Structures are given as structure tokens and as C-alpha cells.
Amino acid sequence: MMQSHLIYGMLGGLAALGSAVAWAFGSILFEKLGNDVSPLGMNLGKGIIGILYLGILLLLIGMEPINNRDFLFLALSGLLGIALGDTFFFKALMHLGPRLTILLETLGPVLTVIMAVLFLHERPSSLAWTGSIFTIAGVTWVLFESAPMEKLKENWISGVKYALLSSFCMSLGIIFAKIGVSSTSALQGTLIRFLFSVIGLTLWGTATREIKNWLLPFKNIRSLKLLLLTVFIAVFGGFWLFLVALKYIDASIATILNSTTPLFILPMVVFISKEKISPRAIIGAVIAIAGIGLIFVG
């Protein structure tokens, strides 16, 4: 029993880190896509294509029954965490860029940990708490180094507002997803979340008569191809792996590990922009990695 618990814990931790890698790559691709597509268009397009990907896969491997309570929580998670949370994230991304947006998103894990302790009664070990503090500190240190504060002056009011709204909605969505995924597979849970995010966005777009404008840019073959690639990475890397993590480990720990996205986004940005990594960024990464090690041990 103890051995299987350790295996599942390791699996959940690795899944959370895998999700962070996927979101690092996905954030860069979504920013490129945002040059031609609105944040709401990106979110709706992501949801529609994500449902197609997941639907085809689940038709092949089969679906399983799910109780009404868990279905409801996954539906609410999709509406809050994806329909609202991701839309606000994309809006912040367009105002601030990937590194500054993710800097402000570091508030999200703190909110999630607080909610998990209050509502899910999670009690991480002292080692896990210490590791969480190290990880958040290291990530924040890296981000402040790589994103000088003077850049925040450009569109910072709107960007900060959207980033904070995104953090709150995503944190609440994570808590609901943790409850909902308990009796179903992570793959099926991801489909339910995507389905209700699309329903919410479609109702919103229909009421405002903007839905056609949101989807119009995807007539461009280049934008559509980029969306297909980006959504594949986001769905099976970002969303699905994170639900796997939520299924096997505490929501607080999964969120902290998933917040390491900046550690992976920096080398990618450096590779693309040919920038150099400073000693400060290396120190921050080492601190965060030490924190990850403590979380796994704890």
C-alpha cells in the first residue's frame, strides 16, 4: 500500500512538472497567435479543437460513468478556470507578454494553497511546505530578473487587472477540478471541462454578437495550423497532465509544481531570442529546483 502511494505521488508530481513544460511552450505559441486572434477567439478556438482531440481519443478507448456531483464540479471548473480564467490570461498575455504575465500569475499558487487548506482540508507535510516556499521564491526571483519592472509601465493597469482575475478564476477552477476528478479519468475530466468552457464562451459570444468576429481569423490557414499545434500541446500537455496530477496528489502541491513554468519558459525564450541567462536567473532556478526536491521527498 505504502509503495503504491509513493508511486502515485511520484506520478502526480512528474505530471505537474510535465504540465509546466507544456504551458511554457504553449504560452510562447499563444502569444504568437495573439498577433492575429483576439483572446476570446483563442480561448473558443482552443476549446472547440480541444473537444475534437479529446472526443476522438475517448471514442477509441471508451468512456466511463460519472456521478452527478463530480460532473457538476468539473463543469463549474471548466466555466471558471478555462472560459473565464484562460480568457483573462490571454488578455494579460497580450498586454504584458509571457514572462510578465507569468510573473503576476505566481499569485495563483498562493491562492490555490490557501483555498486547498480551507476548503479541501489539505495538510501538506513540513518538508512539502518548505519546498513550496523555496519553489515560489526561486520562480519569483527568476521572473523579476528576466522581466524588469519598467516594462510594466506599458499597459500595466489592464495587464495587472487581467492577470489577477485570471489567478483567482483559475485557483477556484483547480479546487473544483480536484473534487470532480476523484471518480473519473483525467482524460474524461478534461473533456467535461473543455465542453463547458465552450458552452460558456458560445453563450457569451452569441449574446454579444461577437462570436463570428472571434472565429473569423481562423480562416487564415497559417493561424489555423498554429492553433492546431498549440491546442494539442495545451490539451494533452497542460490540461490533461495537470488533471493527472490533481488525481494523485494534493491540489496545493500540484499547483506549486505547476507554477515552475517560468523555469522552462526562460530557456525557450533564450533559445528563440538568443538572450543570455544571468547568474541571478541560474541561482533562482537552483533554489526552485531544490524546493521541488523537498516537495517530492515530503
Give dist(CA 84, CA 77) in Å, integer: 10
Q: How many CB atoms lie within 10 A of CB 208?
A: 11
Give dist(CA 36, CA 27) in Å, integer: 15
Residue 267: what residue type?
P
The pLDDT tens digits for 71-112 are 999 999 999 999 999 889 888 888 877 667 766 776 777 788
**SS3 assignment for the chain:** CHHHHHHHHHHHHHHHHHHHHHHHHHHHHHHHHCCCCCHHHHHHHHHHHHHHHHHHHHHHHCCCCCCHHHHHHHHHHHHHHHHHHHHHHHHHHHHHHHHHHHHHCCHHHHHHHHHHHHHCCCCCCHHHHHHHHHHHHHHHHHHHHHCCHHHHHCCHHHHHHHHHHHHHHHHHHHHHHHHHHHHCCHHHHHHHHHHHHHHHHHHHHHHHCCHHHHHHHHHCHHHHHHHHHHHHHHHHHHHHHHHHHHHHCCHHHHHHHHCCHHHHHHHHHHHHHCCCCCHHHHHHHHHHHHHHHHHHHC
H or E stretch at 255: helix 251-258
The pLDDT of residue 29 is 83
Q: Give me 165's grid cell.
A: 482575475
Q: What is the DSSP letter of 38?
A: -
Q: What is the dihedral of CA 141, 145, 149, 152, to 10 degrees?
A: -90
Give dist(CA 116, CA 73) in Å, integer: 15
Give dist(CA 180, CA 193) in Å, integer: 10
Task: Match 480536484 to its residue by C-alpha cell.
Answer: 178
> What end-to-end distance do the CA atoms of the chain give, in Å?
17
The pLDDT of residue 155 is 61
The pLDDT of residue 276 is 66
Q: Reduced to 3 states, what is the DSSP secondary structure of residue 181?
A: helix
Give dist(CA 42, CA 60) in Å, integer: 27
Residue 84 makes CB contacts below 8 A (sequence gap 6+) with: 165, 169, 200
What tens-digit pLDDT sequence spans the chain (298 residues)?
A: 556 667 778 888 899 989 999 988 888 788 777 777 888 888 899 999 999 999 999 999 988 889 999 999 999 999 999 999 988 988 888 887 766 776 677 677 778 888 888 888 888 777 777 877 777 777 777 666 555 444 444 567 788 889 889 989 999 999 999 999 988 999 999 999 999 999 999 999 999 888 988 888 888 888 888 889 999 999 999 999 999 999 998 888 888 888 888 778 777 767 765 656 667 767 777 777 777 777 766 5
Closest CA to 37 of 76, 86, 1, 91: 91
Q: Give me 242's grid cell.
A: 495537470
The pLDDT of residue 160 is 80
Q: Reduced to 3 states, what is the DSSP secondary structure of residue 66?
A: coil
The pLDDT of residue 150 is 44
